[in-house]
Structure 1
Amino acid sequence: MPIGKIHVFDLDGGENWPAYVRLVEQFILLNDIKDNLRVATLVTHVGAPTYRLMCDLSAPDNPENKTFTALVELVKNHLEPKRSEIAERHVFRQRRQGEGESINVFLQKLKHLATYCNFGDQLEVNLRDQFVSGLRSEEIRSRLFAETTLDYKKAVGLALALEAAEQHAAKAVAPAALWAAAGPAGLQADAGERVHRVSVAKQASAAGRDDGPPRRDGCWRCGREGHAPHRCRYKSYVCEKCKIKGHLKSVCDKKNVNVCRSGLKYQNFIETDSSESGSEEFQGLYVIEGETVQNVKDGPYYCELIVENQKVLFEIDTGSKISAVTQ
């Protein structure tokens, strides 16, 4: 009983004939088939469509009257006529990594195109050059350009490692991005109640103020251009006008600051520090800071705020009556 099995050659499906022939040769070697039976092994495994093609190409002779090498070459010249080396290399040089195409798939397609380019012993050099040039990611390409000695294997290995790192980073950033997009309104309380987010415009209107801190072309912390607010050197500076940390007196908008009856100060914005985008988001949430809030007999904490020019007493949601963490 023969070892292994050979499938029928897919003539209409565009299967690679040289690759199929190599598979037949391995089958012959594995089963120690004699030389005079090599042609018989080939013609009995290629299938009826390919055998009819062999008969047409061999006419007026029969395929069985030819040697194994001659029969293989006859079919090869019919299915794969000689290609233009210049044209094949042109196609090879034009290949770029497609959108959504992984580096592994891109490399496989590149190797296939190099099959007919006749690069010889310069194959890996040409593969390396076109591989690096055709990468879609500018960051990965720049990293490879920085290597002083870069052969084909090192280029592929480093590119795959960088691609994997980018994918892991994207997965790690995704939850944070969803949180930033959803905000507090995206959370569900244990009791099934949705926590609603109030816009800055609504809070400002309710308090009789303008729509939050004004947007500036430069940094809103110091008023200068050339850097993002989250990288401003005055990020921890305490304003001399409003006594709130985070900006200079020259850019202070005192309308954004009110004083509670307990002596506390609050702002109508919080900062979302994003090292990825460098952006900051005004969400209309109050940040209370200042002196200790007074309460009565371990009861709730209260703060009196001005809403539409009327004093309204608000209970402060502290989340916990005491804190065991020092500040």
Structure 2
Amino acid sequence: MSLSGNASFCSNLMFDHRAQEWCIFISRFKQCCTANDIDDRSDKAGVKRRALSLTALVEDTYRVAKDLVFPTDLEDIEYATLVQKLNDHFIAKRSTFAERYLFYKAEQRPGEDLNEWASRVRHLAQHCGFKARLDTALRDRFVLGLVNSKEKEKLFAENIDNLSFSKALEMALNVQCARAALQNADVVSSGSSQPGVERGSVGVFAVRPGAPGRAARASTFSEKVLCVVCGGKGHSKEQCRFKSYSCNKCGKQGHLQRVCNMNVKRNNYVEMHGKDSEVGELFNIKCLKGEPMRLFCGFIGFA
């Protein structure tokens, strides 16, 4: 393949050290060379690879490369030496302890699914130097950093000697899938069997207006409420028919004497008990309003 063909094949590959990561670029560049059959055999002196890599650099990055190889010209430096100098300059030195600190404190984030969490664990382990212990470290951080208790309980019950990182991920995904299926089944079952309940578009249950049992619950609640005007049950102060009457005990408007808390003795009313108390109350009210007493005298035993 000609050089012009190679150049057109990698024409979209560019590197700007101010916005991109050198490790990612050089890895992509090597893949580009492989796709174009450019290797140590076809490019023994590295001339093609040097030319392609330098062409991919933006102007400011090209200037950095030129300064790094000074006093040698970029056209004369070997490809391997050029890459090594760029590696030393753009790849920051890392502390293994600092990388492990970030790795061990990592936990699954809210909204981060299991595959994303597993990928982030792998990324954090790249510069930790685990070597032969890599799979064990990945497995431990993945399991211990899980936020869902169901997946964690399942994995905690496994024999650690037989649990690899990939198997732990697979088991966690299976538990997640089973839990989601069970929740959907419960939603469908509940929505089809309970009267007066309907399923919303997002799986949230809502009670329809007028659903069975609602009136009964409201009735039970209202029966327990005492009216502050008359002391009766089953209605509120605003609904009471005596709310505009005045008390025969204290003279204030808005309540009857049976619920009055004032310690005032009055002689203008008849005190009765039991079923006759309501009649007595009504008698006093009628008298206060100036209505004829003859309407009630026969009822309460007067001639």
Write 1 or 2 for the structure with the bigger share of strand: 1
Instruction: Select the residue among 2, 13, 21 that pairs with 1:7.
Output: 13
Q: 2: distance between equivalents of 1:205 and 1:84? A: 68
**Higher alpha-carbon Rg:** 2
- In the alignment, what sits opposite 2:51? 40
- In the alignment, what sits opposite 1:150? 163
How far off is 1:202 after superposition?
2.6
Contact 1:97 1:135 in 2 (8 A): yes
Q: Percent identity?
A: 28
Work out whether 1:57 is the aligned partner of 2:73. Answer: no
How far off is 1:95 after superposition?
0.6
Farther off after superposition, 128-137 or 30-39:
30-39
- In the alignment, what sits opposite 1:196? 210
Work out whether 1:25 is the aligned partner of 2:30. Answer: yes
- Count of residue correspondences: 201
Contact 1:186 1:195 in 2 (8 A): no
Matching of residues 122-271 of structure 1 within 5 Å: 122-148=133-159, 149-174=162-187, 184=196, 186=198, 196-197=210-211, 198-204=214-220
How far off is 1:91 after superposition?
0.6
Work out whether 1:78 is the aligned partner of 2:89. Answer: yes
Aligned partner letter, 1:26: Q
Aligned partner letter, 1:29: T
Q: 1: distance between equivalents of 2:191 and 2:61? A: 57
Asked which structure has the greater RCO (Cα within 8 Å, sep 6+), the reply is 1
SS of residue in 2 equivalent to 1:200: helix
Aligned partner letter, 2:148: S
TM-score, L = length of structure 2: 0.58
Work out whether 1:118 is the aligned partner of 2:134. Answer: no
Contact 2:94 2:127 in 1 (8 A): yes
- The structure-2 alpha-carbon separation of the partners of 1:115 and 1:205, relative to structure 1 and needing over 3 Å to count, comes to closer
Structure 1 unaligned spans of 5+: 188-193, 212-327
Aligned partner letter, 2:210: H
Q: 1: distance between equivalents of 2:89 and 2:183? A: 49
- The structure-2 alpha-carbon separation of the partners of 1:53 and 1:168, relative to structure 1 and needing over 3 Å to count, comes to farther
Q: 2: distance between equivalents of 1:31 and 1:203? A: 83
- The structure-2 alpha-carbon separation of the partners of 1:205 and 1:118, relative to structure 1 and needing over 3 Å to count, comes to closer
Query: For residues 115-138 of structure 1, what are the alpha-carbon distances to aligned partners after superposition, in whole Å with 9 as ceiling and x for unaligned?
Result: 111111221111111111111112
SS of residue in 2 equivalent to 1:65: coil
- In the alignment, what sits opposite 1:94? 105
- In the alignment, what sits opposite 1:324? none
- The structure-2 alpha-carbon separation of the partners of 1:201 and 1:91, relative to structure 1 and needing over 3 Å to count, comes to same
Contact 2:155 2:168 in 1 (8 A): yes
Farther off after superposition, 40-49 or 2-11:
2-11
Q: 2: distance between equivalents of 1:26 and 1:205? A: 75
Contact 1:55 1:62 in 2 (8 A): yes
- The structure-2 alpha-carbon separation of the partners of 1:176 and 1:71, relative to structure 1 and needing over 3 Å to count, comes to farther
Query: For residues 44-94 of structure 1, what are the alpha-carbon distances to aligned partners after superposition, in whole Å with 9 as ceiling and x for unaligned?
Result: 123333222212322333333332222222222222221111111111001
How far off is 1:174 after superposition?
4.4
How far off is 1:155 after superposition?
0.8
Contact 2:23 2:91 in 1 (8 A): no
- In the alignment, what sits opposite 1:191? none
TM-score, L = length of structure 1: 0.54
Q: 2: distance between equivalents of 1:177 and 1:57? A: 70
- The structure-2 alpha-carbon separation of the partners of 1:201 and 1:52, relative to structure 1 and needing over 3 Å to count, comes to same
Contact 1:11 1:50 in 2 (8 A): yes
Write 1 or 2 for the structure with the bigger share of helix: 2
Query: For residues 165-204 of structure 1, what are the alpha-carbon distances to aligned partners after superposition, in whole Å with 9 as ceiling and x for unaligned?
Result: 2333344444567789x962759xxxxxx76133433333
How much is the aligned-residue C-alpha RMSD, in angstroms?
A: 3.0
Q: 2: distance between equivalents of 1:67 and 1:50? A: 18
How far off is 1:150 after superposition?
0.5
Contact 1:92 1:114 in 2 (8 A): yes
- In the alignment, what sits opposite 1:264? none
